Amino acid sequence: MSEITTPAAGRMRSRRRARTTFVAVGALAGLAWAAALRAWMAELNGLMSAFSWGTFVGVLLPGVVVGAAFGWAAVVGDDATPGERRMLRWCAAAPLAFAVAPLAVPGALVDLLTQGLGGGAAAIALLAVLGGFGFDGGRPRWPRAVAGALAVGFSVAVALLTGPLLRGEVLGLASPRGAWLAVFDLALLLLLIAAASIPFRRLRASRDRARS
């Protein structure tokens, strides 16, 4: 009996260690991504940009949560258990934390309802989920192709138009600073889409394995 259970137990321990590592690295990567996003926002607003402790709750914390969720999903194998598949669905929805967390900052909900401030966080969350679904490699392909095209198209539009619309020629694409900011933004959004596809891909792979 021990000859049968020992290899299985070893594989479980190895997967546990890998999962801990991936979650930690994912959380760190998510923190770095969220900090980069906040730097992009600061550049957009120029001298009007202000930092507060709400930045940690509304921007950095969801970055850590989302990164950890993607790291957890990356370790799930094709032989996922029903519990792991349920967890993968939560991981796929994890980017919604970018929309929810800022509302925990005092006054944020009032600003959203009265002035529309904070809508960008919801757009980023929906972009990640839409793009993750679009690039999961599953079937049918046409709804995924539409989702992926919308996510990438929105990313390109935001990168090219946000700077010029908010600050005119200062961040126009004809200026080195504006071109740099557009590339910075596009890289951030495309990276988010690629990472958001991880739980969708793992969920699809486990379903295909269960059906075969």
Within 10 angstroms of residue 42's Cβ, the number of other Cβ atoms is 15
34 by Cβ neighbours in 10 Å (0-12 / 13-18 / 19+) ranks as buried
Give the C-alpha separation, 91 to 77, whole Å: 15
Q: How would you write the pLDDT of the chain (212 residues) with one tens digit per residue?
A: 444 456 666 667 777 888 999 999 999 999 999 999 999 988 888 877 778 888 888 899 999 999 999 999 999 988 888 888 999 999 999 999 999 988 877 766 555 544 445 678 889 999 999 999 999 888 788 999 999 999 999 999 999 999 998 888 889 999 999 999 999 999 999 999 999 999 999 888 877 776 66
Q: Residue ranges of the domains in the chain?
A: 2-201
C-alpha torsion angle, residues 50, 25, 119, 135 (rounded to 10): 150
Give the C-alpha separation, 8 to 199, whole Å: 25
